[in-house]
Amino acid sequence: MQAQRPFEGRIHYQVEYLSFPDGMEGAELALPQQMTLLAKGSSYRMQQSSALGGPLVWIHPAKIDTVYQVFDFMERPVFLAAPVGSGAHKHRVVAKEGEREIAGWKCEEYYLQSAEGNHQTVWVNEKYRNPLKVDFPGLVYLPLQFDLWRNGIHMRFSAKRVVEEPLDGTYFTLPERAVRIREADLQRILN
């Protein structure tokens, strides 16, 4: 079955922290508890905020092979640019039999297994295409519940509210005053 059309709107996810590397237990109190995904076709913007880190935004404009990570640094918006595919791994995708409702939307169960051995159940809405091809390159449908692993932290994202609405294209562009910084330069400054 092919997804019928691209999704346009906002999905508000609750973030649950399932595991941490040794020595980081309890860190969830300082990490974002929610994430908002704004999507228009294959363009997306993910927004999170935490008490310690402030706002953090990922922007992936359609037909551009780069994901931008935007944040405030020394009272100015800066961004890191990462080529699509760096860190993303192909997944083996298998449809399962399960059905359930998430945030009022009918979802189907899929099983994903990544090249590095992580596996998970993903709940998707088959009516819409997956805008998160950077994180889930083999998944066709819109994920409403999924897991991600970042820096040894295992997180689960579960949709709490889904709003279909037209979005302005400016959500998927970099802030006007944002300055590019290389990750090596940022690490040097922070150390």
The CA distance from 161 to 175, in Å, is 26
Q: How many CB atoms lie within 10 A of CB 56?
A: 16
Three-state DSSP at 35 gives: strand
pLDDT, tens digit, 9 for 90 and up, residues 28-71: 777 888 999 999 999 999 999 877 777 889 999 998 889 999 98
Q: What is the mean pLDDT of the chain?
A: 87
Read off the tokens for 187: 């690490």
* Chain-centre distance for alpha carbon 22: 24
- Predicted TM-score (pTM) of the model is 0.87
For the chain, which domains are there? Answer: 8-190 (2.50.20.10)
pLDDT, tens digit, 9 for 90 and up, residues 75-108: 888 999 988 764 455 678 888 999 999 999 999 9
Q: What is the mean pLDDT of residues 128-148?
A: 90
Evaluate if residue 25 carries a pLDDT over 80.
no
Cα distances (Å, whole numbers) of residue 41 to 28, 44, 88: 32, 8, 19
